[in-house]
Each structure stands twice: as C-alpha cells, then as structure tokens.
Copies of this chain bind each other. A is one copy, B any other.
Amino acid sequence: MTVTARAHTNIALIKYWGKRDQKLILPQTDSLSLTLKPFYTDTTVNFSPDYQQDHFSIDGREVSPKTYQRLTSFLNIVRQQAGISLAAHVDSINHVPTAAGLASSASAFAALALAASRAAGLNLSSKDLSRLARRGSGSATRSIYGGLVQWHRGHDDASSYAEPIMEKVDFGLEMIAILLDTHQKKISSRAGMQEVVATSPYYPAWRQVVASGIIAIKKAIAARDIDRIGHISQENALRMHALNLAADPGFTYFNADTLATIHLIDQLHDSGLSCYYTMDAGPNVKVIYDRRDRQKLLGELKKHFASDQLVVAEAGPGAAVLNENKNK
C-alpha cells in the first residue's frame, strides 16, 4: 500500500516542557493545545520488498544522517507493531516554517504515524495512533486530533496519549502567528527542555503550575471564555520561558523582536483589545484572540509587520488519510 496522510501542527496553550523518559517520550506533565489549520505536513509512505533500505525525502531533499536515524527508528516501531520487515520510501512536504517555534515535528510525526501504520497494514485507533506519534516527537501526540487537545502524561507507554477536549471548536478562538525569524533556532526544544529539567530550580513548581493551568483552562474552554483562555495561555508561556532563564546556563528563545512584539501586544491589550501571546522554542510570537476582532487586530499589527509575516490560523482538523493505493 502507498498511503498519503496529512496532519496539522498545533500550538500548546499549556506547554509540554520536559520528559520523564527520553526513549518512550513520556512527559513530565500534561499539556493542552490547539491544532492549527494553515500549518500541516503531507507524508506519503510505501513499504516494498523492492527497497533495499529506507529512503526519506523532506520537501524533495534527502535528509541528514541524524534525521535518517530518527526516522528509521520510528519506522522500526511501526514494523514491529505490524510484524513486517520491509523497507519504506517516505516523502514528506512541510507546510510549516521549519524550526522557528512552530513545531513542524508535531505535524511531521503525526502524519508519518498515520501514513506509515496504514501502509504497513495496521488500522490503529486514534488513541494508539497518538501513542505511536508520541514516539517520534512529544508534540505530535496531540496533532492526531483536531481542535483543543489534552495530552495525558500517563505513567507508561500505554497511558501516555492525547484526547480531544473539543474536536470542532465551536467558538471564536483564533491565532495569528507573527513570523519574526524563520532561521534555524540555536537550541532545539529537545535540548532546551532537558537542560531545564536538570538545572532549573523552578522546575518542581512548574509541575504544579501546569496541573492547575490544565484545570483552569479546561474550565475556560467549557465556558468559551477566550479572554480567560488567553490569559491562562500567556501566563503559562511566560512561566515556561522563565524556567529557561533560570536554568544553568540560563538561556532564552526570545530575541529583540520577540520582546518588542510582546510589548506591542501588551499595549494593544491595555488599550482594550482582547489579545494575548504565547511563544514556543523559538523567537516567533503567536497572538490568541477572538475571531470577531481579527480585522481590528490585523490592522494594528500591519502597522508594524509585513503582511507575509502575519498568518491567521483557525482551529484545524485531526490527522487524516488523503490517499491510499494498493501497490501493483
């Protein structure tokens, strides 16, 4: 079978920042995200006895030896589950600015989990797909589902998976990604979070921050209270970035533009516009707001940014198969 699947990336409103188990990618805490419509990866997988070894291309280019190793290890998990030993060809197209704080690995491994498992003859439940995607990249766990999604940290491989809180977002929650810097980031999220777990004196308190943040944001989601969702998300993002500053050595994903943008969003908020920000392992800022304020907010942002730096993102759908063809 040749299978093509699409999965969307997601933005964590309550952040995943730290693993308990490096190999199984079991996280230290729960997390909660919004899947994003405009950012996705399309991946085609074909297992065949004709292939001598796995082959991977991303955006039409061969992958580095390090990425090859990571991807082939992931396929080994799929092969083991399916009881096959065939090599695969995998072609992936990313519609996500790479490695700039929008987790392209989330959409990439969610799409790969779906396409590879189907191509290998498996028909996994969403829960098991989520567990499989987790083995590739933590944030991919959540990208199996659309809308608002919670990843339960669990205590082992079987209990650490995502579940939708609201798959079809039926209120105006929306995001604008402000693309400040699409260059490769210097500290990967993988390296950053592990340094933080090991050296930040605030990490134990972070676990409690997330536990109460999850409760608070689920309440705000149930009430469709965007103002509250935004406030909780912004607070959680800043508390995550505070962990990095406090690590040894301290570090930050913010650059000068990040800070100027944060101050701008603060000003817009203080002037009466209901808008909040969140940032991940990169300098980009994502603004959270109510869809009905979109034009007003875009108008303000266009005073400071070029149009192609501003990408409006509605809630997106879960991972889906685009195409299945029996091999000849």
Contact = CB atoms under 8 A, between A and B. Distances in A.
Interface string A248-260: 1110101111111
Contacts of A208: 201
Interface string A230-256: 000011001101110110111010111
**Number of chain copies forming the complex:** 2
A209 interface: yes
Most B CB contacts (10 A, CB to CB) among A204, A246, A250 go to A246
A191 interface: no
Nearest to A269: B249
Interface residues of A, number: 29
Interface in A297-312: none
Nearest to A208: B201
A239 B250 CA distance: 8
A296 B234 CA distance: 41
Contacts of A263: 255
A285 to B, nearest CB: 13
A309 to B, nearest CB: 16
Contacts of A206: 201
Contacts of A234: 250
Given A201-B208, A205-B202, A205-B205, A259 B250 contact: no
A130 to B, nearest CB: 29
A263 B238 CA distance: 19
Contacts of A242: 202, 242-243, 245-246, 250
A235 B256 contact: no
A205 B247 CA distance: 13
Most B CB contacts (10 A, CB to CB) among A234, A249, A252, A257 go to A252
A262 B205 CA distance: 26
Given A201-B206, A238-B250, 4 more contacts: A201-B208, A201-B209, A234-B250, A242-B250
Q: Which 6 pairs between the two chains have the least Cβ-Cβ distance? A: A256-B256, A238-B250, A242-B242, A202-B202, A242-B245, A242-B246
